[in-house]
Amino acid sequence: MSNEDKETKIKDILKNQDLYKVYNVSDINHKPHPYCITEKHITGKYMCLTEDNIIQLEKEGSAHCGMFTNGNVEWKNSRTSKFNIPCNLSYEEHTSDNVCLLQLLRNGTSDEANVILKDLVDKVGESFVDGFVFVDTDEQYRIS
């Protein structure tokens, strides 16, 4: 399920409460880095570049991640004299955490906040997203 579909589903579940607003659903903490699409992925073979198409292009040997490392933990999306070791991981070996970013619409109590989040998790399942992140607002609302 795409992040946009997850966001829509969470917004629908939270529509009857006034404490949280969905900011977005996003992938964070990319390990070892975000997968890098290259010109070899854009071949005209596929009208739409999907995860399945990326995996198929890798199996065919037509394309791979376009990131390069210097041998340490630094990555770059182009080859240079310093960054000259290509990423050899498959698309599926590039991982990240999928989180729902929420903003508070007002101050709330811990009990109230927990009830709403527990209800959300009960409806979507524990593995729907890896976690929740709270995004600050100008109003500086808090859970106490």
CA torsion angle for 123, 125, 54, 90 (degrees, to 10)? 160
**Cβ–Cβ under 8 Å, residues 134 and 105:** no
Which distant-in-sequence residues (6+ apart) come within 8 Å of 118 by Cβ? none
Specify if 144 maps to a domain: no
Judge if 75 and 101 occupy the same domain: no
3-state secondary structure 104-136: ECCCECHHHHHHHHHHHHHHHCCCCCCEEEEEC
CB 27 within 8 A of CB 88: no
Identify the residue whose tokens are 């990555």. Answer: 75
Which CATH number goes with the domain that contains 24? 3.30.70
Alpha-carbon dihedral angle through residues 28, 34, 39, 43, given to the nearest 10 degrees: -70
Assess if residue 88 is contained within a domain.
yes
Q: What's the total number of domains in the chain?
A: 2
pLDDT tens column, 56-85: 999 999 899 999 999 888 999 988 888 999
- Does 81 share its domain with 124? no
Q: Are residues 88 and 43 in the same domain?
A: yes
pLDDT for residue 91 is more than 90: yes
User: What's the pTM?
Assistant: 0.79
Claim to verify: residue 40 and residue 78 sit in the same structural domain = yes
Model confidence pLDDT, tens digit, residues 35-59: 999 988 987 778 788 999 999 999 9
Strands (E), the chain: 20-31, 68-69, 75-76, 85-86, 95-104, 131-135
Residue 1: per-residue pLDDT: 87
Residue located via tokens 């900011």: 23
* Domain enclosing residue 99, as ranges: 3-30+95-135
For residue 104, list its beta bridge partners: 20
Helix axes 110-124, 3-14, angle to 10 degrees: 130
